[in-house]
Every structure is written in C-alpha cells, then in structure tokens.
Chains A and B, each alone.
Chain A
Amino acid sequence: MAIEVRIPTILRTYTDGAKQVEGTGSTLGEVLADLDSRHGGLRDRLVDGGGLRRFVNVYLNDEDVRFLDGLDTPVKDGDTVTVLPAVAGGAVTALPAVAGGAVTALPAAAGGALFI
C-alpha cells in the first residue's frame, strides 16, 4: 500500500531533501511510524505524547486530520498525506493551547524552532 507523504521544506532535513516520500500502513499513525523507520526523527516532529503536535497541520487528501480521526484516521492505497507547519505567532509570549482556549505557558524558545 503506497501512501504519498508530502514533506514541507523545513522537515526535508529528515528526508535527504526529498519533497515527497512513500509510506505504508492502514492508519496515519502507522504510516508515520513506517516513515520514521527510514527517516529517523521525522515522527517526533509531528507527534508528541498527546497525539499530533499542536502547530503542525497534517492533511489526508484535502482534509485536516484533526477533523477526521487524528492518528487513527484510516488511509488507503493512493492517498496523499500533506504536512504543513502551521503559520502562527503574535505578540503573545504564553501560547494558547487551542485557538481561543485557555492560555498554557510553553517553554521559551531561545533560538530554536518550538514545533521542531
């Protein structure tokens, strides 16, 4: 089962510069684990203890998987998974955990990209 996974510029260090890689699995979670076996560290940039990372968008074909089943979203042969870093920021120093939700203080990022 070949699932095409499109990788944003900022994560291509994990794929030797490839814009697109192939994975197998029957759910998104399985595909990411499969990719991680060949591109070590990639999965960690997309997933944390609670599931998909807050400021990374993952789409199955045209839909944000947060509106589907997250990591449990079933995938099938010929599907395309697209990863895009969320475009976000602002004057705030403590980021909301969800848009409009309770403010959660996150570790200050001194010189590093937080979602990475």
Chain B
Amino acid sequence: MLEISRDLHDKIVAHARADHPDEACGVVAGPAGSDRPERFIPMTNAARSPTFYEFDSTEQFRVWREMEKRHEEPVVIYHSHTATEAYPSRTDISYAGEPGAHYVLASTRDEDKTEFRSYRILDGQVTEEPVNVVE
C-alpha cells in the first residue's frame, strides 16, 4: 500500500498537469527504511516528450547524493502518461531500477480528472497497490 499525504498527492497531480502534454517525472524522498514519502522532488524530463521520460543524469546524481546525505531513499518515483492509462508500460517495467520504490503513475489523458495509481515493480513483475491519501 502507498500511504501519501493529500499535499504530496496534489503536488504530483499539479506537476503532471503543468507539464501536459509532456510526461512529468519526479521523486518523493523519505527517511531510509521508513516507507514514508515526505520530500517532493520534481525532476526535469530530459526527453521532454509526450511518451517518454528520463531524468537528467547530472540532476539525478545530485538528488541521489543529497538523499544519501540526508539518510533518505526514493520512496516514490512518479511519472505521468498523457494519452494512455495510468498503468506501467513495458518500457516502465523494463527500466524500473529501484526495487524498493513505489512507482506512481498519473494520467492526464482526461482534462477533468487525473488518474493516480501506484505499483511495485520487482524483477519485471508489476503489482498494483492501493493508495491511501491521508488528509
């Protein structure tokens, strides 16, 4: 299960909306081992594409190093799909390199409603999990 505050949920949705029609991406860091997403870190989509995202490698290094200094880990790795459902694509599954993370997918395909779903991706297997948005 992903437990996430309303504030963080809304920040992810706002980021996805702001970058639409390009895919948005980012991280929510939390204390290592806690499974608590706490610190919102929107990332640049170096691909700036409506169907592909990639963290800028230098930015990723800085963020990962900062997390390490703060004894954090990437609790959530999020990105948006802009014309398809909020479900991990084959590409998403192939490139999921953080086995401990909750992979959050938002979809901005509908103007009025942003889908928000979460998954674990381990060894190429996707498992959807419930999302509990805490007010």
Q: Which residues of A contact B (CB under 8 A)?
A: 8-10, 55, 57, 59, 62-64, 66, 82, 84-93, 95-96, 99-100, 108-115
Q: Mark B110-129, 1 if CB is under 8 A from A, else 0.
A: 00000000000001110000
Q: Which residues of B contact A (CB under 8 A)?
A: 23, 25, 27, 43, 46-55, 57-58, 60-61, 64, 77, 79, 81-84, 88-100, 123-125
CB < 8 Å A-B pair total = 127
Which chain A residues lie closer than 8 Å to B84 at the CB level?
91
Which chain A residues lie closer than 8 Å to B55 at the CB level?
86-88
Which chain A residues lie closer than 8 Å to B53 at the CB level?
88-90
Interface SS of chain A: loop
Closest chain A residue to B77, Cβ basis: A87
Would B90 and A108 count as touching, CB distance under 8 A?
A: yes
For this complex, 21 residue pairs linking A to B, each with C-beta atoms less than 8 Å apart, are A62-B61, A63-B58, A84-B61, A86-B55, A86-B97, A88-B91, A88-B95, A89-B91, A90-B23, A90-B51, A90-B89, A91-B23, A91-B51, A91-B89, A93-B90, A100-B48, A111-B124, A113-B94, A113-B123, A113-B124, A114-B95
